[in-house]
Amino acid sequence: MNRLFRDAAGPSLAPGGSVVCVGAFDGVHLGHRALLARTCARARELGLQSLAVTFEPVPREYFAQGHAVPRLTSARDKLALLLDSGIGRVLALRFNAHLTAMSATAFVEQLLLARAGMRELWVGADFHFGHARRGNVALLEQLATAHGFTLQVLADVREGDERVSSSALRALLALGEFDAAARGLGRRFSIGGHVVRGLQLGRKLGYPTANIRLGRRTAPLGGIFAVRVHGVAATALPGVASLGIRPTVAGTEPLLEAHLFDFDGDLYGRRIEVEFVARLRDERKFDDLPAMVRQIERDAAQARELLAARRCA
């Protein structure tokens, strides 16, 4: 049975009624997971369908008008994480001019009540929605009374003294604070994709790489990293990776290049996940290829040492 829907119009997705949560869900972090878990639990208690409403592109991307907007998860990964959370159905609305022009009241009446079949709604305390973000919890309380649905507001989820949020996690990743980010995400940060053919320059230089194109996605980090690569062997393989535009070879497209230590195999076409463990340095342009190779050697040695120390800790 289909669990993912994209269209705002159409028959009710839950004729018998649903418990709904709404959000951009970038990263599907611990705060999002708490919201999803409460939604699923209440749906089971009430004998209703559980349903998450989200947006693609995320609103930040739409309003950026083509400018790069960092994301914690690609659209594909976000939707997979939502479906894996136990939620019954996902309505991933196309965030476009029509949706941005819709009033907050119309959003509730046409999308949440009519399309999603909502009987109970779960949102975060800072939830805003509708045209010009005029909808908020106060308006939802009025609409709940008028339309007879139940409103539940989830308190902030905190990690230590800090509220868990997508923006805070993006900031941590940009700084290379991967352990702190993992605590808020509930998992290690990684970027996945299918391995594509590159210029094969790394192989010629003695450091073959598995390359992943980011496409339209903008990562919240860049530079050189110690990594673990999943999807190649039964256990994750250690390596060193570069995420950037490769200025020494006049690159323009952001590319994730991962060199796997002590591995020599064909990975083209395989989907892998590159887990970021530690940040080594910024990306930079070298005067020539020999200078770049010398730095790669130092990077690889540092990454090996860091990964070995973490494995033994």
Given this model, what pLDDT does residue 35 score?
Answer: 97
Given this model, what pLDDT does residue 49 score?
Answer: 98
Average pLDDT, rounded, for the chain: 93
Question: Domain coordinates of the chain in residue numbers?
Answer: 4-163, 189-312
Given this model, what pLDDT does residue 142 score?
Answer: 97
Indicate the burial class of 302 (C-beta count within 10 angstroms; 0-12, 13-18, 19 or more): middle
pLDDT in tens, 232-270: 999 999 999 999 988 777 667 889 999 999 998 889 999
Q: Which CATH architecture has domain 4-163?
A: 3-Layer(aba) Sandwich (3.40)
Lowest pLDDT segment from 35-44, 125-134, 300-309 = 125-134
State how beta strands 223-230 and 271-281 pair: antiparallel
Sign, CA dihedral 36-41-45-50, equals positive
Q: Residue 305: helix, strand or coil by DSSP?
A: helix
pLDDT in tens, 205-233: 778 999 999 988 899 999 999 999 999 99
Structure tokens belonging to residue 285:
């342009």
Which residues lie below 8 Å from residue 68, measured CB to CB, with a gap of 6+? Answer: 218
Asked if pLDDT for residue 140 goes beyond 60, the answer is yes
Given this model, what pLDDT does residue 43 score?
Answer: 98
Q: Which element (helix H / strand E) includes 120?
A: strand 118-124
pLDDT in tens, 32-50: 999 999 999 999 999 999 9
Given this model, what pLDDT does residue 246 score?
Answer: 82
User: What is the CATH code of the structural domain delimited by 189-312?
Assistant: 2.40.30.30
CA 210/CA 257 separation, integer angstroms: 6
CA 258/CA 157 separation, integer angstroms: 34
Who wins on pLDDT, 202 or 188?
188
CA 249/CA 209 separation, integer angstroms: 15
Biggest CA-to-CA distance, the chain:
71
Asked if pLDDT for residue 312 goes beyond 70, the answer is no
Given this model, what pLDDT does residue 171 score?
Answer: 97
Who wins on pLDDT, 189 or 58?
189
pLDDT in tens, 59-117: 888 888 777 889 999 999 999 999 999 999 999 999 999 999 999 999 999 999 999 99
